Chains A and B, each alone.
Chain A
Amino acid sequence: MSTVLSLTAAQAVEQIRAGELDPAELWHTYRERAAADELNAFTWVAGEGETPAVAPGAPLAGVPVAVKDLFCTEGIPSQAGSKILEGYCPPYTATAVERLQEAGAPVVAKTNQDEFAMGSSNENSAFGPVLNPWARDRVPGGSSGGSAAAVAAGAVPWAIGTDTGGSIRQPAALCGIVGLKPTYGAVSRYGMIAFASSLDQAGPFTRDVTDAALLFSAMAGKDPCDSTSLGLPEPVRLPSATDLRGLRLGLPEDLLAGEGVEPGVLENFRATLDRARDLGAEVKTMALPHAEHGLAAYYLIAPAECSSNLARYDGVRYGFRADGAGDLLGLYTHTREQGFGAEVKRRVMLGTYALSSGYYDAYYGKAQKVRTRIAEDFFAAWEEVDFVVTPTSPGVAFELGAKTADPLAMYLNDYFTVPMSLAGIPAISIPNGLSEGLPTAFQLAGPAFSENRLLDAAYALEGALAFDGSPARQA
């Protein structure tokens, strides 16, 4: 591995600033790595001839970034992993991506994903599955599986993705890298192809916590084009904490006892709690009484919102249109039958059912009330603890095809990540060891807009854990 590839993005920024590294060389190195990718992590890679111009003094100094396919990028295919958006090149760029470009991070590639971000294994993509760089017979997680695999494999310095119920944190966990889901509203959703609008949030995939802070700082901010965006109350600081003194970590034992957590995951989780105690943290057992119902509420709310958001794909204005469909209704139904994959249809059906007359109160209405209860659980928790900690994923990366026949088993991957999504709070996943030779991860969640404190705590833990992600880059 060349020395350029061993640099974190923040180190590359520093070397470019010091005149020790040529940003054009960095661009070409990574462009070639991405073009030669064997993991099916990308849906598009920049052409050979293009070396993007970067403004002098730009904070990200020309370190290239990969962007999940569902971010609209002007003139570049943006299909959200779906056949129904075949060939779609948007006339505009998503705000989050535009901010990265302006900050000096040119887009070197678009990353593969589960169709419309629906999935936890990246097996629901019209572009085919992504392979995990730690073991190519395993999934990288999803839905942002391409972003996670690409960063872990060192095919790009860093990437962005989106998280609706765990789609940043879970693939980051399964690929042994850092993933941050910011507070809902911290990053603009303008130009993000919508899945479940009250939950969707963009965030970074990086090799370490410092890179996560740096990339997040460039993406965040209020945007007049997204009236639900709020920006952050204070600028993002690069993390510097070396201990956790004075911090209270909440351990939701009831949640941990719930759904089958693999022994190796649990073992590494407990070991990380010991490291946290060594660093001065107090670990307090607490309860999130409604969190175990998070999955049930999520799998009503997200499909309901998706069934509404995906109504726009009808073969009229963009993307794929079915041939020989007869009348207008036939055009809609045949286009959607041929353009959507199985999981998208399943969720559109589930959401339509949950919103249909006679079932609305029993399903969607009730799920919204459970959502209130879960948010209240977290509010109550912040009276007693600073952060809530869990494993990110109940298991390590599973074999391709292992869960495709059982949607419910696939949904259980999101068991530890969904409650934070429903509450709109930030959460970060950091790698904390290996089990069966595959990465496990530790999740820290904090109150809304606590990103700076969260990044600091994750940084201190990262230093103590000293996880070695380099095996994935040598694959």
Chain B
Amino acid sequence: MLSRDQVLYVARLARLELTDAEVEQFAGELSHVLDHIEKIAELGDLADVQPTSHVVAVENALRPDKPRPSWPREEVLAAAPDPAQGGFRVPSPGA
């Protein structure tokens, strides 16, 4: 069972602010899922097996290094919650 502290630690890494109820809930649910995942241990020693991060072997997918126009700044900023002075405005990190 994941402890409350473990859940809060992972939430901090994931930049999630969880409610107390969610902390309780996730401790139980994640433990349950992790128990199922432990079935992998049945496969024994996998030390000699190469990990697969990507199934299709693609080597050096290159394209010509040619400049092309990017999207207009206004269009991209139009989707932002708080655009200002040609950029994305955010609160001060130390506020």
CB of A406 to closest CB in B, whole Å: 8
For the complex, would chain B's binding face be called helix, strand, loop or mixed by DSSP majority? loop
Which B33-56 residues sit within 8 Å CB-CB of chain A? Answer: 33-34, 36-40, 42-43, 46, 49-56
Is B82 on the interface with A (CB-CB < 8 A)? yes
A interface vs B, CB < 8 Å?
88-92, 183-185, 198, 224, 227-228, 230, 290, 293, 295-297, 299-300, 307, 311, 314-321, 325-334, 336-337, 340, 342, 345-346, 348-350, 352-353, 356, 363, 365-373, 375, 407-408, 411, 422-424, 448
B interface vs A, CB < 8 Å?
2, 6-7, 10-11, 13-19, 22, 26, 29-30, 32-34, 36-40, 42-43, 46, 49-56, 58, 61, 63, 71, 75-76, 78-82, 88, 90-95
CB-CB under 8 A from B53, the residues of chain A are 198, 368
Pick the contact of A230: B26, B37, B56, B82 (CB < 8 A): B56
Q: A230-B56, A331-B91, A375-B55 are in contact. Are A314 and B15 (CB under 8 A)?
A: yes
CB-CB under 8 A from B7, the residues of chain A are 349
For the complex, would chain A's binding face be called helix, strand, loop or mixed by DSSP majority? helix
Q: A368-B51, A369-B46, A407-B32 are in contact. Are A424 and B95 (CB under 8 A)?
A: no
> When the two chains form their complex, are residues A327 and B93 in contact, meaning their CB atoms are under 8 A apart?
yes
4 A-B pairs besides A293-B40, A337-B19 with CB distance below 8 A are A227-B61, A297-B40, A353-B2, A424-B55
> When the two chains form their complex, are residues A336 and B15 in contact, meaning their CB atoms are under 8 A apart?
yes
CB of B77 to closest CB in A, whole Å: 9
Max chain A C-beta neighbours (<10 A), residue from B51, B63, B71, B76: B51
CB-CB under 8 A from A296, the residues of chain B are 36-40
Complex Cα spacing A326 to B91, Å: 7
Complex Cα spacing A318 to B75, Å: 11
Pick the contact of B18: A185, A227, A297, A337 (CB < 8 A): A337
The residue of chain A having its C-beta at the shortest distance from the C-beta of B58 within the complex is: A228
Q: A228-B61, A366-B40 are in contact. Are A346 and B30 (CB under 8 A)?
A: yes
CB of B7 to closest CB in A, whole Å: 7
CB-CB under 8 A from A183, the residues of chain B are 56
Complex Cα spacing A319 to B58, Å: 34
> When the two chains form their complex, are residues B80 and A367 in contact, meaning their CB atoms are under 8 A apart?
no
Q: A311-B15, A317-B88, A349-B26 are in contact. Are A408 and B33 (CB under 8 A)?
A: yes
Q: A227-B58, A318-B80 are in contact. Are A327 and B50 (CB under 8 A)?
A: no
Pick the contact of B92: A90, A327, A352, A375 (CB < 8 A): A327
Cross-chain pairs A/B with CB under 8 angstroms, 30 sampled: A228-B61, A230-B58, A293-B43, A296-B37, A296-B38, A311-B15, A314-B15, A316-B88, A316-B90, A317-B88, A318-B81, A321-B81, A327-B94, A328-B95, A330-B17, A332-B15, A333-B15, A333-B17, A337-B17, A345-B18, A346-B26, A349-B14, A352-B13, A363-B37, A366-B46, A368-B51, A369-B52, A371-B52, A372-B49, A372-B51
> When the two chains form their complex, are residues A307 and B14 in contact, meaning their CB atoms are under 8 A apart?
yes
CB-CB under 8 A from A228, the residues of chain B are 54, 56, 58, 61
